[in-house]
Amino acid sequence: MSHDDETTKTKHRSDAIKRGTERAPHRALLRATGVKEEDWGKPFVAVVNSYVDIVPGHVHLQQFGRVVKEAIRAAGMVPFEFNTIGVDDGIAMGHSGMRYSLPSRELIADCVETMIEAHQLDGMICIPNCDKITPGMLMAAARLDVPTVFVSGGAMRAGRTPDGEAINLATVFEGVAQLKAGKTSLQRLQMLEESACPSCGSCSGMFTANSMNCMSEALGLALPFNGSALAGTDERNDIAKRAAFALKDAIERGLTARKVLTLEAFDDAFALDVAMGGSTNTVLHGLAIAREADVDFDLARIDAISKRVPYLCKVAPSGKFHMEDVHRAGGVPAILSELRRLGVLHLDRPVVGASSFGATIESAKILDTEVIRPLENPYTKQGGLAVLYGNLAPEGSVVKTGGIEPSMRKHEGPARVFDGHDEAIAAIHAGEIVAGDVVVIRYEGPAGGPGMREQLEPTSAISGRGLGGSVALITDGRFSGATRGACIGHVAPEAAAGGPIAAVRDGDRIAIDVEARTIELKVDAAEIAARLRALAPREKNVSSRWLRRYAKLVQSASRGAVMGD
């Protein structure tokens, strides 16, 4: 690099590590990584990969990262790859490991920030796929405010039984409960285990991973079909190649993440989410990402969107279709095209890879009206998520309405109270829960868990025992996207914070009304207050320093379960 470069006006953020005579030591180190003389004037960009061997949604991302890096070089930029951690929620489910899943979102965001800021990179292509990795990276993008494009690893194919029935991971969880209830055989469960996850990729239904990868499209940080194109396909590789040129364009235009992640972008992303009946985890993550972007977005706004946007695409576990069907039917652009007809989208806002959000769905159309229904024939007139309030959840609670049987949209029954996941699952498997009950699982909130464990095992056990149409479940924990049924999570304030859920006793009547958006403990206010005053302090037997620190800093689920400053 010549001395003339010292007086050259800074063109890139990365000039802080590569321009001027005082940066000779830095260039010496960069040369050792393979940077060549002709690279100094190019943008230096991060490839934020989440390759890990133990997660099927990520096991292929080492090779996929190479595709992205080659595309970045072809676009005239210099790639620097690094990895994040990744927790597989399915493998962490049902034991103490699940306490680390939601906290991993914060670690991922912090680690991405650390790498980008320490090395002053000009932008990044993020390669997430599953569970908390996509939201963690989105939080980092919002926090850093550098040009960013997301390219997820792609969805898994649906599994198939020998007779051709489409199945997925939730089928296996429910199969375990069916076996314990004597409703299926060990041989059938073995078949489900061997058939449900046939390839790499994010689990094939509208679970959290695919919900977030679809929302990334609507937010405007991912290219069309990012949410539905299958893993390991030429189409997925083509999206990666185009993403590199989209990033180059964003850098040249100065289109940073916060210019994309506007209030209107969050509105449109949740319009898509409720139209697809996405995972309730999207609520936690959407609130957290909006906070990082300094966008004023709350539970009430999400519920208002769900009230005016119809449910158009019913994907497993709520329906029989999987992401490959959604892709075949036109993908996210086709769903957004229908919502455009409704007039709820903000078409002029900026996105990566196109002149505007509207341009990304201009030519989209539904190719299979059984998979993606038109506005004239929705599953329901309102969307697939709802926020319920009441004396049991003064700050709110969340339910995936698309997974509820009509008979359970209004329900009242006696409480069966359990202080934690393990007590509840033992009682369900023992046959102690009967039709009409309202199962209450508490002290599983962000701080109380700590870690806000997903309750897929209890919800699958209820469904597997044939009680999904007669038993409700309420928790200050959260649910997997694979959960279905009258399952209400994120109850806030949580029990550990002295929320009313801590006052519930066995036999108390609880009334749920999804249409009215209410959840009520049928106990008078004075008695609830007296019970809460009488509660003895709970000792937290948590050996992990990380989880103890998380429990001290984490905020309410109603605010996205983010860690306080």
Rounded CA separation 328/309 (Å): 23
**Tokens representing residue 480 in the block:** 């997997």
DSSP string, 292-313: HTT----HHHHHHHHHHS-B--
Going 290 to 291 to 296 to 299, the CA torsion angle's sign is: positive
* Helix (H), strand (E), coil (C) string for 406-422: HHHCEEEEEEEEECCHH
Q: Is residue 272 a contact partner of residue 215, using CB atoms and an 8 Å limit?
A: yes
| Burial 18-36, CB ≥16 within 10 A → b, else e | bbbeebeebbeebeeeebe
E-strand ranges in 94-133 read: 123-127
**Tokens representing residue 464 in the block:** 């597997």
Please tell me which residue in 480, 543, 544, 558 is annotated as part of the active site: 480
Q: What predicted TM-score, i.e. pTM, was given to this entire model? A: 0.96
Query: CA angle, corner 380, sides to 374 and 385, nearest 5?
Result: 110
Residue 281 DSSP label: H
374 upstream amide cis, omega within 30 of 0: no
Rounded CA separation 528/392 (Å): 10
CB count within 10 Å of CB 227 equals: 30
To the question of whether residue 522 is assigned a binding role by annotation, the answer is no
CATH numbers and ranges of domains, the chain: 1-32 (no CATH), 42-158+198-360 (3.40.50.2300), 160-195 (no CATH), 385-559 (3.50.30.80)
Distance of CA 117 to the CA centre of its chain: 25
To the question of whether residue 454 is assigned a binding role by annotation, the answer is yes
Q: Return phi, psi of residue 397, to 5°.
A: -150, 165
Q: Is residue 5 a contact partner of residue 20, using CB atoms and an 8 Å limit?
A: yes
pLDDT of residue 481: 81
pLDDT of residue 3: 41
Q: What is the pLDDT of residues 279-328, one digit of tens each?
A: 999 999 999 999 999 999 999 999 999 999 999 999 999 999 999 999 99
Rounded CA separation 5/237 (Å): 37
Q: Who contacts 266 (Cβ-Cβ below 8 Å, separation ≥6)?
A: 219, 286, 289, 290, 295, 297
Active-site residue flag, 480? yes
Q: Is residue 177 a contact partner of residue 461, using CB atoms and an 8 Å limit?
A: yes
pLDDT of residue 541: 78
The CA-based diameter of the chain, rounded to the nearest angstrom, is 80
Rounded CA separation 253/78 (Å): 18
Low-confidence ranges of the chain (pLDDT < 50): 2-8
To the question of whether residue 131 is assigned a binding role by annotation, the answer is yes
Q: What is the pLDDT of residues 317-329, one digit of tens each?
A: 999 999 999 999 9
Distance of CA 299 to the CA centre of its chain: 16
Q: Is residue 79 a contact partner of residue 68, using CB atoms and an 8 Å limit?
A: yes
Q: What is the four-CA torsion angle of 198, 202, 203, 207, rounded to 10 degrees?
A: -170
CB count within 10 Å of CB 390 equals: 20
DSSP string, 379-394: SBSS-SEEEEEETTEE
Q: Name which of 396, 413, 379 is nearest 518 in CA terms.
A: 396
To the question of whether residue 89 is assigned a binding role by annotation, the answer is yes
Rounded CA separation 533/354 (Å): 57
317 upstream amide cis, omega within 30 of 0: yes
Rounded CA separation 538/390 (Å): 25
